[in-house]
Every structure is written in C-alpha cells, then in structure tokens.
Structure 1
C-alpha cells in the first residue's frame, strides 16, 4: 500500500506541474500577440521617421564626423526568466561577435544588457557588463525601460564621449531570421540620389537643428523600443515552444505513472488474494 500511495502522489504532483505548464503556455501565446502588434506598429512608425531623415538629408543634412576615441556601446537584449530554450545563448553569441568586430576596428567597447540571463551568459564568456536594465514584463513597462536606456546614452555621450551604439536582440520573424545586430549610431547618411516616393519633396520651415533633434529623439526611441518588443515577442515564442515540448513530455510521463499505478495496484490486489487463499487453505488444512 505504501508503494501504491507513493505512485499516487507522483501522479498528483505531475498533474499539478502539467497545469502550470499549460498556464505558462497560454500566457506565452497571448503575450506573443501583444508584442507582435507593438513591433508591427513601431515598424510602421519607423518608416515615417526614415522618410523624415530622407527629407532632412536631401535638404540640408550634414552629420558630424565620429572618431574612435570615444566609447562604442553594445546593448544585448535577453530575458530575466528561463524556460525559453536557446534564447539567451543566441543573443550572447551574436553580442560577443559584435564586440569582437568593434574591438578589431579599434573601438573602446562597453557592453550593456537588458536581462539577467543574458548578462550571466556574457559574463561566463568573459565579457564585462557595465550597465544592466530589467526586462519589462508587459507593454506598459517598455516605455520606462526605454527612457532609462536613453538617459544613460545621453549621460555617456556627454561624459564618456559615446559615439557608437549597437543593439543585439532576438527576432520574432517569419522569414527565418532569428537575431538582429543593428548599428543604431552613428546615423547613416542618406544619399542625395535616393528617390523620394512622392511627386514632390516636402519642405519645412522648422530650423535645421530643431528638425534634427526631433528626428534624432524619435529615431533613438523607436530603435530601442522596437528591439525590446521584438525580443519580448521572440522570448514568448521560444517559451511557448519550450512549454509545448514540456507538456508533451509530462503527458507521456503521466501515462507511464498511471501504467505503473495500475500494475502496482494489480500486484497489491493479487498479493492480498493470495494471502486470503493461503489463509483459507491453512484453516481448512488445520
């Protein structure tokens, strides 16, 4: 009976675990949709800002030269939570690659992370992480994290001559591309030969410096925001896949436990019957 009760407890515990996995699976599926829609929206806005840059550079665009004496910042976006497969490992591998390329170009590199898991993976690879940011748990929290990153970029630009900024993040994309390694700063100067989609080039009476500042703020914001929401969508997609595998394994394990329970129960019943038969025979024989 003790063995039978132990198997019954295992079945109950495994059933509870299966409930947790199903809940996490459902939450991941819902979160994917939220973050995917946010990424789509910021992507459409990014196209508008990009068109603004095209107008700016066609009219009066002059960018300051950037040297290699300052700091090149690399932001690796990962996760704070586990159970998402190779998600953080992929981000780590590409971040190390970007850092090595920048070092080979002669830059002084500083690594920032968004997520405890990717930070641990990078530090295990010998990379020193100078700043760490939390991963927002919902869309409401993304703005606060983006603002914090922007404030630090501004501080590093003024105090440490930050001249280059790159972001490495996982992608939730249907084209098979799993990771993005975008160099956000310095700005890419648009060619004067680039064609404008409209019939006439828009004009503005906004002072050049004000127009540049507005476009720059929007560009930096959507670059960081887009990277984070894309990473969050990819994280939940990876977690959904991991939970699907876990669910399948748990169900198979439950089936084995139930089979073991039935066999144990049958053995127990058979043993009790044999004991009864042996007792009857002993009484009759006596």
Structure 2
C-alpha cells in the first residue's frame, strides 16, 4: 500500500510540474510575439535614421573625425534566467571570438555584459568584465537599460578614449536563434546609406554638426535597443523550444508512472486476494 501511495504521489508531483512547463511555454510564446514586434518597429525606425544619414552625407559628405584610439568596448547580451538551452553558451563563444579578433587588431578590449548568466560564463572563461547590466523583463524596462548603456558609453569615451563599440547578441529567426556580432562604432565602418529614391534631393536647414549629433545619438540608441529586443525574442524562442522538449519528456514520464501505478495497484489487489484466500483456507482447515 505504501508503494502504491508513493507512485500516486509521484504522478501528482509530475502533473504539477507539467502544468508549470505548459504555463512557461505559453508565456514564452506570447513574449516572442511582443519582442518580435518591437524589433520590427525599431527596424522601421532605423530606416528613417538611415534616410537621415543620406541627408547628412548629401550636405556634409564626410563624418567628423572621432580619433584613432585603440580602446574597444564589447557588449555581450545574454539572459538573467535559465531554461533556454545553449542561449548563453553561444553568446559566450561568439564573444570570445570577437575579443580575440579585436585584440589581434591591436585593441584593448573592455568587455561589458547584459545578463548574469553570460556574465558568469565569461568570468568562468577568464574574461574580466568591467560592467554588467541586468536584462529587462519586459519592453517597459528596455528604455532604462539602453539609456544606462548610453551614459556609460559616453563616460567611457570621455575617460578612456573609446574608439570601437561592438555588440554580440542572439537574434530571433523563424527557424531558430542565430548569434550575431555587430560593429556599431566607428561610423566609418558603416555604409553611406542607400541611394535616395525620391526625385527631390535631400536637404536640411539645420547646422550639420547638430544633425550629426542627433543622428549619432539615435543611431546608438536604435542599435542597442534593437540588439536587446532581438536577444529577448531569441531567448524566449530558446525557452519555448526547451519547454516543448520538457513537456514531451514529462508526458512520457507520466505515462510510465501511470503504467507503474496500474501494475502496482493490480499487484496489491492480487496480493490482498491471495491473503484472503489463505486466511479462509487456514480457518476452514483446508476444506475451502
């Protein structure tokens, strides 16, 4: 009877776990949609900023000199939560590759992280991280993190003479997450924009220096914002895939437990019946 109760308790506990997994699966599916929409929105805004660069290049023609320093900042974006497969591992591996690439070019690399888990993974690989930012849990928290990163970039540039800024992050794709390394600064590594499609030539009536300053800040903002929301979409995609595998395994485990329960119950009933028969035979002197 005790064995039967133990199996029954295991089934109940496993069903509770299955309920949790299904809830996490549903939340991940909803979050993917939210962050994917945000990534699409920032992509459309990036096209507007790109048009702004076209106006700038048409009127100025050159990018202001930003110096020739050899300090590079590399931001690695991971997660603060688990149950998302190899999400942080692939971010770590790509970050290590980019660090080696930057060092081979003569840069002194300052590694920043966004997420406790990728932070711990890099520290465990011998990489010293100078700053670590938390991963926002919702879209409302993304703006605050982006502003914090921007402030630190400005301060780092002023104090250290930062010349190169790159971001490593996972990006969401319908067929699975992909890790990406984007070199954001210097601006000389970016193209001068697509050809102007309109028949009206782009012009501006504001000072070129003001236009550059505005575009530069917007460019940094959308680059960091886009990387974070893409990473969040990819994180939830990885978590959804992990929960689907977990759900399948738990269902199979429940089926095995239920089979074990039926066999144990049948064995218990059979044993009790044999005990009754044996008792009757003992009382009747074997004449039953």
In the superposition, the TM-score normalised over structure 1's length comes to: 0.96
> For 1:242 and 1:221, how far apart are their aligned partners in 2?
31
Q: What is the CA-CA distance between 1:193 and the residue it aligns to?
A: 9.7
Task: Give the aligned partner of residue 228 of structure 1.
Answer: 228
Q: What is the CA-CA distance between 1:58 and the residue it aligns to?
A: 2.3
1:150-176 CA-to-partner distances (Å, cap 9, x unmatched) read 010011011111111000000102476
In the superposition, the TM-score normalised over structure 2's length comes to: 0.95
Does 2:89 align with 1:89? yes
Does 2:81 align with 1:63? no
What SS does structure 2 have at the residue aligned with 1:198? coil
Q: What is the CA-CA distance between 1:190 and the residue it aligns to?
A: 6.6
Contact kept, 8 Å, 2:92 with 2:122, in 1: the verdict is: yes
Q: What is the CA-CA distance between 1:285 and the residue it aligns to?
A: 0.9
Q: Which runs of 5+ in 2 are unaligned?
A: none
Task: Give the aligned partner of residue 80 of structure 1.
Answer: 80
Task: Give the aligned partner of residue 156 of structure 2.
Answer: 156
Considering only aligned residues, what root-mean-square deviation do their CA atoms show, in Å?
A: 1.6
Q: What is the CA-CA distance between 1:211 and the residue it aligns to?
A: 0.4
Q: Are the structure 2 counterparts of residues 275 and 190 from structure 1 closer, same or farther at C-alpha, using a change threshold of 3 Å?
A: closer
Contact kept, 8 Å, 2:177 with 2:234, in 1: the verdict is: no
Q: Which runs of 5+ in 1 are unaligned?
A: none
Q: What is the CA-CA distance between 1:148 and the residue it aligns to?
A: 0.5
Q: Are the structure 2 counterparts of residues 56 and 175 from structure 1 closer, same or farther at C-alpha, using a change threshold of 3 Å?
A: farther
Q: Are the structure 2 counterparts of residues 106 and 266 from structure 1 closer, same or farther at C-alpha, using a change threshold of 3 Å?
A: same
Q: What is the CA-CA distance between 1:191 and the residue it aligns to?
A: 6.6
> For 1:235 and 1:261, how far apart are their aligned partners in 2?
38
What SS does structure 2 have at the residue aligned with 1:63? coil
Greater CA deviation, 216-225 or 173-182?
173-182
Contact kept, 8 Å, 2:77 with 2:113, in 1: the verdict is: yes
Q: Are the structure 2 counterparts of residues 190 and 152 from structure 1 closer, same or farther at C-alpha, using a change threshold of 3 Å?
A: closer
> For 1:176 and 1:8, how far apart are their aligned partners in 2?
38
Q: What is the CA-CA distance between 1:200 and the residue it aligns to?
A: 2.5
Task: Give the aligned partner of residue 118 of structure 2.
Answer: 118
What are the within-5 Å matches in structure 2 for residues 8-19 of structure 1? 8-19=8-19
